Amino acid sequence: MSKVPYEVYTEDVEALTVLSPAGEVINKDKMPALTDDQLKEIAYRMIFTRTWDDRAVNLGRQGRLGFYAPTSGQEATMVGSEFALEKEDFICPGYRDIPQLVWHGLPLHQAFLYSRGHQHGGEIPDDVSVLPPQIIIGAQILHATGIAMGFKLKNQKNVAITYTGDGGSSEGDFYEGLNFAGAFKLPVIFFVQNNGYAITTPFAKQTASKSIAHKAVAAGITGVKVDGMDIFAVIQAVKEAAERARNGEGPTLIEAVTYRFRPHSLSDDASKYRTKEEEGEWSEKDPIARVVKYLESKGLWSDEDTQRVKDEAKAKVNEEIKLAEKTEKMTISGLIDSMFETTPKDLEEQKADFE
């Protein structure tokens, strides 16, 4: 095997793109094999997620949600990566990664309860392979690595996937997770949604690396860079990574270059660090518009379909937020009980102080 000159690591790498902004397949070799029904399901989920995000932002401003991190613009990375997984594969999310959890099986009203800070938002159903969203930046990376180690020790053909943003790739947990997973060849996918800003800090100011994908080199694992506004590229990259993991070939670091159309959170003012010109350039790469154009060219989608999905999403969100709002209010004793199958004696005694 010939040695690769060091200089290759000082240059950026080209991102995998399958579907152009015009909705045309420009890389047939990497186009994932999808049925017409699957294509329509992908469009459904992306439009549903965008509509849900619109409504959630309004709910947050009304005080009906707590912390909420908008997702519009990142539907390809979120919907696409989850779509490429199996039901038993495990998701370890950050605080923005709520769509992946819901499409993997978490009831939407529980996602709303999580946002409202309610304990029941973190009570994951037994048949849903996810962890609650992690607020600590990068901590979920270590969780996914541990779960992947469990899969390997049990000889299970499952994969763990964890998400963070470009800012999370500057955390110590990120490097520890990659190094450990590489050393033990664990079945884990590290998925970085590089939306260009670590809250307000531009990517170029928080790392000298030309890409996040390069950072796989030091861990001895596979590194991939994809167009994060192209859901077909995301699906293909995750499918290939999952296949390598299931075959015992170890982890993959995926950098998906994307863009969040809304601010970092509802308390953020993106106009202070982003320009209208930049936002306009990225809006032309809208991941939903790409897919809709492609499906329309195949006679699989219409404006009526888009409106139907929006109507269904609005109705579903309204139903689920009402369900969340009807959930009994939290109590200190109830919170303590929810943490244990059998509440320890000392905590039983403490509960009496709050009753």
Residues with Cβ within 8 Å of residue 69, at least 6 apart in sequence: 95, 96, 98, 264, 265
Q: Is 260 tagged catalytic?
A: yes
Alpha-helical runs (H) found in 154-255: 172-184, 203-206, 216-219, 231-246
Q: What are phi and psi of 168, to 5 degrees?
A: -65, -25
**Could you give the CA distance from residue 275 to residue 208 in angstroms, rounded to a whole number?**
23
**Could you give the CA distance from residue 297 to residue 319 in angstroms, rounded to a whole number?**
34
Nearest to 163 by CA among 83, 101, 104, 92: 92
Alpha-helical runs (H) found in the chain: 36-61, 75-83, 98-103, 108-115, 139-153, 172-184, 203-206, 216-219, 231-246, 276-283, 287-297, 303-326, 332-338, 345-351
Of 120, 175, 262, 273, which is the active-site residue?
A: 273
Q: What are phi and psi of 82, to 5 degrees?
A: -70, -35
Alpha-helical runs (H) found in 170-230: 172-184, 203-206, 216-219
- Answer for the pair 195, 162: CB distance below 8 angstroms, yes or no: no
**Could you give the CA distance from residue 92 to residue 99 in angstroms, rounded to a whole number?**
12
User: Residue 44's CB: how many other CB atoms inside 10 A?
Assistant: 18
Of 264, 274, 290, 294, which is the active-site residue?
A: 264
Q: Is 264 tagged catalytic?
A: yes
Of 50, 260, 274, 290, which is the active-site residue?
A: 260
**Could you give the CA distance from residue 140 to residue 290 in angstroms, rounded to a whole number?**
31
- Answer for the pair 227, 257: CB distance below 8 angstroms, yes or no: yes
Report the sign of the C-alpha dihedral through residues 244, 231, 75, 305, in that order: negative
Q: Which residue is listed with tokens 């609650």?
A: 132
Q: Give CA angle at 76 (9, 278), nearest 5°.
A: 70
Distance, first Cα to last Cα, the chain: 70
Q: Which residue is listed with tokens 């000298």?
A: 208
Name the token pair of 354. Answer: 């709050």
Q: Is 273 tagged catalytic?
A: yes
- Residues acting as catalytic residues: 260, 264, 273
